[in-house]
Chain A
């Protein structure tokens, strides 16, 4: 086996037992395979063991000269701000090396999404970090909130767009909803489910509609994305009531236990319900108190209540995704949770329940099981989404002044997370 001193991007020539090949070296991701781009455009792999000799024809040099694109201003367009945090919407394939890279360069972002510039001027862009959404922690939510707040304070800016990975976008939506109080302008989270190298990517429509929403009159935290699998319009969905309901479809995000705020077309917003109206003069407050000593557990049949002992030891509170209307096994069951619940709740551990069914509201009064749990001090979170409840619990427990008031605060409607009028969702 020949020792090859090849780097991704190099033009090389290799000799095999039967023939010779020439191509550009790509990142293969596998140590024993040399991946080459041939002149035909195809990429093929050769086992390194089978390469008799090889030489570099031309070393790859990274093109350091970046095109300088000025953030062009179009007369008559209003200003928005942009916060880029990672995810598919901000990643691209590097054709030179074959690797996937972030669109860290702001100019590049604009190059990929030129249509947004016809709707609004992007006055400010902030890139606090570039990560996939599964890598985020509450620290990142806080960081995003700080960036958004700074942009909202700019008198010349009408609204903010945050681009984000899809997987945990719902959590960030909830966090921003709680962290940004007295919101003065629209805060719009958006995403893409299809990579932006393809002409069919959903990113474009999502971004255009996000820009429309950022200029709209609605001063709420919203998630904007495809309403259906068609490329015709998006929904603007409430930040505390929206969940990713599909692994890959364009219209993965759905409003749960509520209605979308608006139907958004490029060039048009049709509101579907009442919303908080913009007031540019209002001052948005940042409240980033958060306690991350919180847990989230999904109850399953036969689950041992000693799981609570583990959480109570290290955490301040827990969300249990319970069955049906909010049930866990109680006195009639061989695995009665009541003794453990009572013991820990008495010691100040906060236990909330949400619905595994995702849709619908909890109700402790329909069966005696529910009443027993409520008497033990379990907090029934009505129609609140589990993910939103998790974020809210951290937010509530992060406020020293609210110690002892967990139940009251968890059931206070801060940002549309509770809806006391569930309807049949016919739009």
Chain B
């Protein structure tokens, strides 16, 4: 089926919640550390009704059910403090988390509010011991540059993650683990400026690319992405768990089709749906009313001054496409670039080594991504073993020698091969020096034996005599020198 997105008036926006990896929690000084061992202590709590100012019916209904429940919180003496069990007021915001969120907001071209109040967002399912989640708005009105145009960023906020549900919510007792409570989460919302499935997927990938250059936690459960989507005439539908790029397009197509069917049946209500693996979605709950938010009275207004913003701006990480441009500029070929960008360790190592010797990016790249693999295969060893033998420090030493002019580029692979085979690095470097002299001696001999030939002819003879593994470039250099004398 072909969907005419324009005709249908599809409008969509993304909302991402991503855990930050800055070591600690947002408002206490406990380590951010998910536990699998049994808890040291349990805290038993009840929720009670909070008099709301507005008639949030759905909230009241949920409250009713939760008021009767007992909430059990599992804690650990070494990673849970009084703040997570709501027995002590919060500490000041974690500075590292704040800087990281600023970084993300700036990468998304956001304006930063000069002062922002830490807010309490009412939470009624027991997943926060306090009965609320602390959250603060950092940036607004940013944009993402996409190949189909700009997509607005409505806001960037940072908030506390909730406690981890252990088991289910169905019984009279609901169990939560406090290890996750308070881990900083960045929340990014785009404006509803995505108009078809491709754009939605591209935008999600782009946001992912930006988050990956920042300090974020990796793995299942560390990112939660929601899609808000509607067609003309239909209320907004929120799809939870929309984070698998492989099924994004299918999910959007099926949802648009579902909304078309809704309209045919004279329905148009917005609701919250859950994304499933096959691309379909299922009803989760009606659309909630606006979040009830009020100030965290235990903390002062947070001021973010210009100096701080500028300091973060100065150290903004580069995005993949920016890195690609830079690598291209220093002469790295496409194939090696692909391998280098394949994982961040490769890139880190490459960036360290290119500082040692920057005249041949392809040589440095080969050291990082090709030769160790090749040697491993030849020596029937694992790649990890080879990486231990040919460590970054070894590669650095070899390149230092090249940079000093004491080792020719053409000999690098041989030296590394010898080290991989078990030779001491110092010895491998020394012998090679002798090897250079030997090569020159041999070339002089050949030229003297048959004078008057062209350089290419001599080259053939040299290879014939000394084998293919000689440094051809060096040989040509010597030849040119001798022949032109």
CB within 8 Å of B: which residues of A? Answer: 18-19, 26, 28-30, 33, 35, 38, 40-47, 50, 93, 95, 98, 100, 111-112, 114-115, 194-201, 204-205, 229-232, 247-250
A248 touching B294 in the complex, CB below 8 Å, given contacts A44-B137, A198-B120 = no
Q: What's the Cα separation between A196 and B48 when bound, in Å?
A: 10
Distance between A98 CB and nearest chain B CB, rounded to angstroms: 6
Contact (Cβ within 8 A) B297 A111: no
B185 an interface residue at 8 Å Cβ cutoff?
no
Q: Which residues of B contact A230 (CB under 8 A)?
A: 43-45
Q: Which residues of B contact A42 (CB under 8 A)?
A: 116-117, 119, 135-137, 157, 293
Contact (Cβ within 8 A) A249 B297: no
Contact (Cβ within 8 A) B115 A45: yes
Q: Which residues of A contact B45 (CB under 8 A)?
A: 200, 230-231
Q: What's the Cα separation between A114 and B293 when bound, in Å?
A: 22
B474 an interface residue at 8 Å Cβ cutoff?
no
Contact (Cβ within 8 A) B295 A229: no
Contact (Cβ within 8 A) B114 A40: no
Q: What's the Cα separation between A300 and B124 when bound, in Å?
A: 49
B473 an interface residue at 8 Å Cβ cutoff?
no
B89 an interface residue at 8 Å Cβ cutoff?
yes
Contact (Cβ within 8 A) A33 B301: yes
Q: Which residues of A contact B5 (CB under 8 A)?
A: none
A93, A95, A98 pick with most chain B CB within 10 angstroms: A95
Count of residues in B whose CB is under 8 Å from the partner chain: 48
Q: Which residues of A contact B136 (CB under 8 A)?
A: 42
Distance between A417 CB and nearest chain B CB, rounded to angstroms: 30
Q: Which 8 A-B pairs have the closest CB atoms?
A: A45-B115, A199-B131, A41-B293, A43-B117, A42-B137, A230-B44, A200-B131, A198-B131
| Minimal Cβ-Cβ distance residue in B for A230 | B44
Contact (Cβ within 8 A) B86 A200: yes
Q: B50 contacts which of A29, A198, A247 (Cβ < 8 Å)?
A: A198
Distance between A186 CB and nearest chain B CB, rounded to angstroms: 24
Contact (Cβ within 8 A) B87 A229: yes
Q: B132 contacts which of A100, A198, A204 (Cβ < 8 Å)?
A: A198
| Minimal Cβ-Cβ distance residue in A for B50 | A199
Contacts between chains A and B (CB distance < 8 A), count? 116
Contact (Cβ within 8 A) B48 A201: yes
B49 an interface residue at 8 Å Cβ cutoff?
yes
Q: What's the Cα separation between A378 and B45 when bound, in Å?
A: 48
Contact (Cβ within 8 A) A45 B303: yes
Q: Which residues of B contact A114 (CB under 8 A)?
A: 49
Q: Which residues of B contact A35 (CB under 8 A)?
A: 115, 117, 301
6 contacts between A and B (CB under 8 A): A42-B117, A47-B114, A115-B48, A197-B50, A201-B48, A229-B85
Q: Which residues of B contact A45 (CB under 8 A)?
A: 113-117, 301, 303
Known: A18-B111, A45-B113, A115-B48. 12 other contacts (CB 8 A): A28-B301, A33-B301, A38-B137, A42-B137, A44-B117, A93-B294, A93-B295, A98-B295, A112-B51, A197-B120, A198-B120, A248-B82
A26, A38, A229 pick with most chain B CB within 10 angstroms: A229
Contact (Cβ within 8 A) B294 A197: yes
Q: Which residues of A contact B44 (CB under 8 A)?
A: 230-232
Q: What's the Cα separation between A115 and B122 when bound, in Å?
A: 20
Q: What's the Cα separation between A351 and B191 when bound, in Å?
A: 73
Q: Which residues of B contact A50 (CB under 8 A)?
A: 114
Q: B114 contacts which of A26, A46, A204 (Cβ < 8 Å)?
A: A46
Q: Is the interface of A mostly helix, strand, loop or mixed?
A: loop
Q: Which residues of A contact B120 (CB under 8 A)?
A: 197-198
Contact (Cβ within 8 A) A19 B111: yes
Q: A248 contacts which of B53, B87, B113, B114 (Cβ < 8 Å)?
A: B87
Distance between A50 CB and nearest chain B CB, rounded to angstroms: 7
Q: What's the Cα separation between A297 and B129 when bound, in Å?
A: 40
| Minimal Cβ-Cβ distance residue in B for A96 | B53
Q: What's the Cα separation between A188 and B53 when bound, in Å?
A: 31
Distance between B53 CB and nearest chain A CB, rounded to angstroms: 6
Q: What's the Cα separation between A394 and B26 when bound, in Å?
A: 48
Q: Which residues of B contact A44 (CB under 8 A)?
A: 113, 115-117, 137
Interface residues of B in 260-296 (CB under 8 A from A): 290-295
Q: What's the Cα separation between A95 and B294 when bound, in Å?
A: 7
B46, B85, B122, B292 pick with most chain A CB within 10 angstroms: B46
| Minimal Cβ-Cβ distance residue in A for B128 | A200
Contact (Cβ within 8 A) B141 A19: yes
B30 an interface residue at 8 Å Cβ cutoff?
no
Q: Which residues of A contact B122 (CB under 8 A)?
A: 199
Q: What's the Cα separation between A44 and B293 when bound, in Å?
A: 13
B115, B141, B157, B293 pick with most chain A CB within 10 angstroms: B115
Distance between A109 CB and nearest chain B CB, rounded to angstroms: 11
| Minimal Cβ-Cβ distance residue in A for B298 | A195
Q: Which residues of A contact B87 (CB under 8 A)?
A: 229, 248-250
Contact (Cβ within 8 A) A248 B89: yes
B186 an interface residue at 8 Å Cβ cutoff?
no
B45, B111, B132, B291 pick with most chain A CB within 10 angstroms: B45
Q: Which residues of B contact A40 (CB under 8 A)?
A: 137, 155
B8 an interface residue at 8 Å Cβ cutoff?
no
B168 an interface residue at 8 Å Cβ cutoff?
no
Contact (Cβ within 8 A) B124 A199: yes
Q: What's the Cα separation between A115 and B50 when bound, in Å?
A: 12
Distance between A59 CB and nearest chain B CB, rounded to angstroms: 19
Q: Which residues of B contact A93 (CB under 8 A)?
A: 294-295, 297
Q: Which residues of A contact B335 (CB under 8 A)?
A: none
Contact (Cβ within 8 A) A249 B82: yes
Q: What's the Cα separation between A200 and B89 when bound, in Å?
A: 13
Interface residues of B in 91-143 (CB under 8 A from A): 111, 113-117, 119-124, 129-132, 135-137, 141
Q: Which residues of A contact B43 (CB under 8 A)?
A: 229-230
Contact (Cβ within 8 A) B116 A43: yes
Q: B88 contacts which of A38, A231, A248 (Cβ < 8 Å)?
A: A248
Distance between B62 CB and nearest chain A CB, rounded to angstroms: 11
Q: Which residues of B contact A38 (CB under 8 A)?
A: 137
A40, A41, A43, A232 pick with most chain B CB within 10 angstroms: A43
B47 an interface residue at 8 Å Cβ cutoff?
yes
Q: What's the Cα separation between A40 and B295 when bound, in Å?
A: 13
Q: Which residues of A contact B47 (CB under 8 A)?
A: 199-200
Distance between B410 CB and nearest chain A CB, rounded to angstroms: 57
Q: B130 contacts which of A19, A95, A200, A249 (Cβ < 8 Å)?
A: A200
| Minimal Cβ-Cβ distance residue in A for B116 | A44
Q: What's the Cα separation between A29 and B299 when bound, in Å?
A: 12
Distance between B112 CB and nearest chain A CB, rounded to angstroms: 10
Q: Which residues of A contact B155 (CB under 8 A)?
A: 40
A18, A200, A231, A248 pick with most chain B CB within 10 angstroms: A200
Q: Which residues of A contact B297 (CB under 8 A)?
A: 93, 100, 195
Q: Which residues of B contact A196 (CB under 8 A)?
A: 50
Q: Which residues of A contact B88 (CB under 8 A)?
A: 247-249
Q: What's the Cα separation between A198 and B46 when bound, in Å?
A: 12
Q: What's the Cα separation between A229 and B53 when bound, in Å?
A: 29
| Minimal Cβ-Cβ distance residue in A for B113 | A44
Q: Which residues of B contact A95 (CB under 8 A)?
A: 53, 294
Contact (Cβ within 8 A) B303 A194: no
Distance between B143 CB and nearest chain A CB, rounded to angstroms: 13
Contact (Cβ within 8 A) A30 B301: yes
Interface residues of B in 299-334 (CB under 8 A from A): 301, 303
